[in-house]
Structure 1
Amino acid sequence: MTNQSSKIELLSELIWREMDGNAVVVSPRDGKVRVLNEVGTFIWQLLSEEAPPAEIVTHLVETYEVSVLQAEQDLDKFINDLVARGILKYN
């Protein structure tokens, strides 16, 4: 799992809004628009509140009734994908 003490930040230049239950994220730097699904939006909201990975895993388990292992794997995949796309960063 992503280091539980890792701090993950949304890039400050991003603009995002929730529309119809999905987060719409716009990167002014490259003009790309990304739409997150329901679970991605749930994680995004927690990240915007500066929740640490361990807390996000707990919320995923409670909300979506998945195992801790599944929540950790899904969170890792989500975070690593958005870090690779330049939307999130480790601090």
Structure 2
Amino acid sequence: MKLRETEVTWREIDGELVVLDLARSAYLTTNRTGTLLLRLLVVERSVDELAAVLVREFGISSEAARSDVEIFIRQLEDKGLLAGGARARQTGGSETP
């Protein structure tokens, strides 16, 4: 899964991101964790890859990291910010963070 490449823009403000979907006039703000995940999602990533980064960066358990990633991905999907078919490619992505 990865972010849509068209009609999506963001601005960083004090370490957090504000993401704007220009097509839908919707926005999303992120905390430090969401900012990290969004930066990784500019290329294709799997849930497992994203969770591994959270484990490494924040020292949390794999289970907590995976849960956090899945919740965040659902939020991105609900706002239509991911490229199509993201849920089908949750594991085994093509690149390592």
- How many aligned residue pairs are there? 84
RMSD of Structure 2 on Structure 1 (CA): 1.6
Q: Distance in 2 between the 1:56 and 1:33 partners?
A: 22
Q: CA deviation at 1:26?
A: 0.8
Q: Which AA in structure 2 matches 1:48?
A: V
Displacement over 6 Å in runs of 4+: none
Unmatched 5+ stretches in structure 2: 90-97
Name the structure where strand makes up a greater proportion of residues: 1
Asked if 1:9 corresponds to 2:2, the answer is yes
TM-score between both structures, scaled by the size of structure 1: 0.80
Asked if 1:40 corresponds to 2:4, the answer is no
Is contact 2:15-2:32 (8 Å) kept? yes
Counterpart mapping for 1:40-59 below 5 A: 40-59=34-53
TM-score between both structures, scaled by the size of structure 2: 0.76
Corresponding position of 2:74: 80
Q: Which AA in structure 1 matches 2:24?
A: D
**What is the percentage of aligned positions where both structures have the same residue?**
31
Match of 2:58 among 64, 74, 82: 64
Corresponding position of 1:5: none
Q: CA deviation at 1:71?
A: 0.4
Q: CA deviation at 1:73?
A: 0.6
Is contact 2:2-2:43 (8 Å) kept? no
Q: Distance in 2 between the 1:31 and 1:80 partners?
A: 19
Q: Distance in 1 between the 2:26 and 2:55 partners?
A: 31
Q: CA deviation at 1:61?
A: 0.3
Q: CA deviation at 1:33?
A: 2.7
